[in-house]
Amino acid sequence: MTFFIVSSIIKIIVVFTAIMVGVALLTLAERRICAWMQDRLGPNRVGPQGLLQPAADGLKNLMKEETLPAQADKALFLLAPAMSFVPALLAFAVIPFAAPLPTRWGDVDMVVANLPVGFLYILAFGSLGVYGIVLAGWSSNNKYSLLGGLRASAQMISYEIAMGMSTVAVLLLAQNVTLTEVIARQSSSLFTWNVFPLSLAFFIFVVAAFAETNRLPFDLPEAEAELIAGYHTEYSAMKFSMFYIAEYSNMVTASALMTTLFFGGWDVPFTTWDNTPPWTVWKTLATLAVFSAKVLFFLFLYIWVRWTLPRFRYDQLMALGWKVMLPLALGYLSVIATAIWLLHDRLAWTYDTRFALTLFALNVLLAIPLFFVLDRGHIVAGSVAPEGGNA
């Protein structure tokens, strides 16, 4: 019991410290990648290659004046940043990030809390962030903040349903809600990674994850050009920074979740030596490096999309969520559940490469007509002018 408590405390300190430092460096990475895409230099004055720019920004926010609007609800106004910030960190607690670490007291699971219902825990805590945003918009007593908060709540609730439905397909294949078992199920070969047998589920999850983290092209709750700064218009100093820390923490958690659910988690591709005992320190380090590389890829994808695509109009955003994503998730879940039942129960196939490639072929057949229809522009057209009329 003492070993369990001590190891848990160490994991909590190390993991959450790494996330906070990583979030700070992620802000620098976004600015440097943005500059690279726009043929600029980006931050390069504070420290070598601008590495101390996040520290300078943090110090600036600590030194700035804390303002409190006269008509704001003080308690909720102060509580809202924490309610956005804390769930983003807590959701990472159940994500396994490496193979178990052997010690002389026993093996240590490389996950802060290896809950048997880890997947359900993430869905529960991931949905709490919207309360902080809604409270921030309402408690500021500012019309722009309120409009941003209303937009955020409608957007996050709309896409959260599609995200949850897309991940049910993962549970059907894994037959378990423990994330360590989800990873173990994908470890037999590269093609048993869920991104192949559940390609459309991965597509739905990625789109919903962008919307859930309020990133372009789904950043309507902020929409600086339209709503000043959305729900954090009245915030300043560290309270303002906590919303950005929450956003980047959500990006890290969403990227880690994509890696775990669809890309084999910490599984090293093209080999199986990392999935079986005896566990060694080198296995732990190798799997940690692979997991980190996969997460960094998705973080780069977030940044790449932000500086490449324009944002939706709000009516288009809601039409995509309710007219496309939700029916697509429900229909896909019905088809994939039927296919798994036929292959597993009727044909008595075990889950292996043949099983995964058969489902992958089914996903390709479904994707071709789906993207053809979506590309026609008739479903997510939003508000359009009538034929022959003025726009």
Domain spans, the chain: 2-334
Question: Measured over all CA atoms, what is the biggest interatomic distance in the chain, rounded to whole angstroms?
Answer: 78
The tens digit of pLDDT for each residue in 152-161 reads 888 888 888 8
Contact 112, 11 (CB under 8 A): yes
Q: Is 107 helix (H, G, I), strand (E, B) or coil?
A: strand
Average pLDDT over residues 112-118: 85
Q: Where are the alpha helices (DSSP H) in the chain?
A: 2-37, 53-63, 74-90, 118-126, 129-139, 143-174, 179-185, 199-212, 224-227, 237-262, 281-306, 314-319, 326-341, 353-375
DSSP for residue 176: -
Residue 99 φ/ψ region, left for φ over 0, alpha for ψ in the -120 to 50 degree band, beta for the rest: beta
| pLDDT at residue 332 in the model | 92
Average pLDDT over residues 75-91: 85
User: Per-residue pLDDT for 150 more than 60?
Assistant: yes
| pLDDT at residue 123 in the model | 82
The tens digit of pLDDT for each residue in 11-49 reads 889 988 898 888 888 989 998 998 988 888 888 888 888
Element housing 110 (H / E): strand 106-110
Average pLDDT over residues 246-272: 88
Q: What percent of the chain has pLDDT over 90?
A: 16
| pLDDT at residue 296 in the model | 94
- Separation of alpha carbons 215 and 389, rounded Å: 34
Q: Model confidence at 144, in pLDDT bands (50, 70, 90)?
A: confident
User: Per-residue pLDDT for 297 more than 90?
Assistant: yes
More confident residue, 251 or 379: 251
- Separation of alpha carbons 220 and 237, rounded Å: 23
Which are the contacts of 277, defined by CB distance < 8 A and separation ≥ 6?
A: none
User: Per-residue pLDDT for 391 more than 60?
Assistant: no
